[in-house]
Amino acid sequence: MTSTQVHTPSTGKYTQPTGLFINNEFVKSVDGKTFETINPATEEVICSVSEATEKDVDIAVAAARKAYEHVWRKETPENRGKMLVNLANLIEKNADLLAAVERSTTERLSGWQRLTYYGGWADKIEGKVIDTNPDTFTYTRQEPIGVCGQIIPWNFPLLMWAWKIGPAIATGNVVVIKTAEQTPLSGLVAASLIKEAGFPPGVINIISGFGKIAGAALSSHMDVDKIAFTGSTVVGRQIMKAAAGSNLKKVTLELGGKSPNIVFDDADIENAISWVNFGIFFNHGQCCCAGSRVYVQSGIYDKFVERFKARALANKVGDPFDAETFQGPQVSQLQFDRIMGYISEGKKEGATVVTGGERHGDKGFFIQPTIFSNVTEDMKIMQEEIFGPVCSIAKFETEEEIIATGNNSTYGLAAAVHTTNLNTALRVANNIRAGTVWVNSYNLLHHQVPFGGFKESGIGRELGEAALSNYTQCKSVSIRLGDALF
């Protein structure tokens, strides 16, 4: 059996593929191993899926290598683009089902539009002619890297799937993508559309499995040319070590964050509260770019904290299938426990609980939207990524001070500034060391706009034209036109 019947409240029964997707077929793992997927809202088992071990990784990588050498390298850029657009269209056709599957494990469906965007790039990858002297003709080619391993997390399963596959395939690579052990289902449903989209066997391979086994095998594999990873900074370091200790495969990383969200006295306060609320509580705080450090200038601090509390209390927490719900469950018991651990640490360290601070209900991994005020820079809840619905607020006085405090982090993924003064906005945006800065907004990610980290938040950029360079390598070809030099 490589599929099973699963029920969702919005679509009823559907057929869930459960095998490993290798060479355009769903297959069982070599050892026949499986693992369970849990519904975080009910803590019940949804189904079991095949678990990839080293042997399965070897098989998937061999399939990808064969496809790359014999088929994919010979495919035209135009056809690569067409296949990506076909896949995007098929995903759109199945959007209701995919949304339901996502909601069973995380919450939201998004991201498939990126495939259309990267389909458009496939036939626009160009080199240059470089004029060095009249006797030489030199040009460059942007060539694919080859077999790419891709390891994705559980916070946006299909979005991450599309972010990784789009630029890799558009530029002529083949992929073996490992989904997160908490959320393998939507990636497998989307995999069932790959053959219909026209991709030859072995070009896109999707495996389910654990990080320490399948993920480690992929990142240390001698025949994987590049590894792209999204996840924790701790594992990002392990991926780099694995690459260094094996074949020095190319590495790109999209890691954690502790992003400052800065509100000046002259901000439109209601607007700022809406974005601060969205910045931290969207996807239950399970966002790498979550605005988890909120700094408010002293003139409006008290008013801001009071109104933000009212706003957070109005966020409906509960069933992800209820249209009114703003915040669903955390992904797993482990994440729930980690976040509750940070909350009790914040209380112990002396921060003030403005609202929340407890579990929501008694079933499922739900946590109340939590705001801490009077948080100091040395507290763990101001320094470490919590990855949950927990916000730390502190007061500031001057622009100079807040630029220094905003940069007081080992991370540098995102930041925001709220002000009605254009000069303040631009000065802060220019001086904050982060890959993305939003002004009077938050979380406005767009597939045309590069996204990625400064400092320990990552290496490389996803989205936009910038992501293409994660998956190409430059070759220079020089042709001597004149007589021999020597």
Tokens of 462: 């996803």
Q: Which of 81, 211, 260, 356 binds ligand TXE (CB under 6 A)?
A: 211
Tokens of 321: 């299938």
- Strands 226-230 and 250-254 turn out to be parallel
The whole-angstrom separation of Cα 143 and Cα 163 is 20
Restricted to residues 244-273, the positions that interact with ligand TXE (CB under 6 A) are: 254-256
Q: Find the catalytic residue in 254, 385, 399, 456.
A: 254
User: Shortest Cβ distance from residue 58 to ligand TXE (Å)?
Assistant: 16
Q: Is residue 185 within the footprint of ligand TXE (CB under 6 A)? A: no
Buried b (16+ CB within 10 A) or exposed e, 118-141: bbebbeebeeeeeeeeeeeeeeee
Exposure of 346 in the CB half-sphere (CA atoms within 13 A): 32
Buried b (16+ CB within 10 A) or exposed e, 27-49: ebbeeeebeebbbbbeeeebbeb
Q: Which of 72, 121, 366, 387 binds ligand TXE (CB under 6 A)?
A: 387
Binding segment (CB under 6 A) for ligand TXE, from list 55-63, 139-147, 151-159, 319-327: 151-159
The residue among 153 and 364 lying less far from ligand TXE, judged by its C-beta, is 153
Among residues 439, 465, 73, 440, the alpha carbon closest in space to that of 452 is found at 465
- Give percent helix, percent strand, percent coil of the chain, each to the nearest 5: 35, 25, 40
Residues 20, 50: contact at Cβ < 8 Å?
A: yes
Beta bridge partners of 373: 352
Residues 2, 50: contact at Cβ < 8 Å?
A: yes
Residues 101, 8: contact at Cβ < 8 Å?
A: yes
Q: Which of 86, 116, 150, 155 binds ligand TXE (CB under 6 A)?
A: 155
Q: Is there a catalytic annotation at residue 254? A: yes
User: Shortest Cβ distance from residue 240 to ligand TXE (Å)?
Assistant: 11
Q: Find the catalytic residue in 148, 287, 289, 391.
A: 287
User: Shortest Cβ distance from residue 443 to ligand TXE (Å)?
Assistant: 13
The residue among 292 and 368 lying less far from ligand TXE, judged by its C-beta, is 292
Q: Is residue 288 within the footprint of ligand TXE (CB under 6 A)? A: yes
Q: Is residue 232 within the footprint of ligand TXE (CB under 6 A)? A: yes
Q: Is residue 177 within the footprint of ligand TXE (CB under 6 A)? A: no
User: Shortest Cβ distance from residue 421 to ligand TXE (Å)?
Assistant: 32
Among residues 349, 390, 351, 338, the alpha carbon closest in space to that of 369 is found at 390
Q: Is residue 107 within the footprint of ligand TXE (CB under 6 A)? A: no
Restricted to residues 333-372, the positions that interact with ligand TXE (CB under 6 A) are: 335, 338
The residue among 269 and 466 lying less far from ligand TXE, judged by its C-beta, is 466
Q: What are phi and psi of 59, to 5 degrees?
A: -65, -45
The residue among 80 and 164 lying less far from ligand TXE, judged by its C-beta, is 164
The residue among 57 and 273 lying less far from ligand TXE, judged by its C-beta, is 57
User: Shortest Cβ distance from residue 196 to ligand TXE (Å)?
Assistant: 26
Q: Is residue 85 within the footprint of ligand TXE (CB under 6 A)? A: no
Q: Which of 116, 238, 261, 472 binds ligand TXE (CB under 6 A)?
A: 238
Edge to edge, the sheet with strand 20-22 lists: 25-27, 20-22, 204-207, 174-178, 147-151, 226-230, 250-254, 458-459
The residue among 85 and 434 lying less far from ligand TXE, judged by its C-beta, is 434
Among residues 177, 169, 206, 144, the alpha carbon closest in space to that of 81 is found at 169
Binding segment (CB under 6 A) for ligand TXE, from list 8-16, 74-82, 189-197, 204-212: 204-212
> Tell me, what amino acid is at 216?
A
Q: Is residue 231 within the footprint of ligand TXE (CB under 6 A)? A: yes
Tokens of 279: 């910045």
Q: Is residue 219 within the footprint of ligand TXE (CB under 6 A)? A: yes
Query: What is the size of the binding site for ligand TXE (CB under 6 A)?
Result: 27
> Tell me, what amino acid is at 232?
S
Restricted to residues 4-63, the positions that interact with ligand TXE (CB under 6 A) are: none
The whole-angstrom separation of Cα 26 and Cα 22 is 6
User: Shortest Cβ distance from residue 229 to ligand TXE (Å)?
Assistant: 7
Binding segment (CB under 6 A) for ligand TXE, from list 51-59, 80-88, 148-156, 391-399: 148-156
Contact set with ligand TXE (CB under 6 A): 151-153, 155, 178, 180-181, 210-212, 215-216, 219, 230-232, 235, 238-239, 254-256, 288, 335, 338, 385, 387
Any idea which residues carry the catalytic annotation? Answer: 254, 287
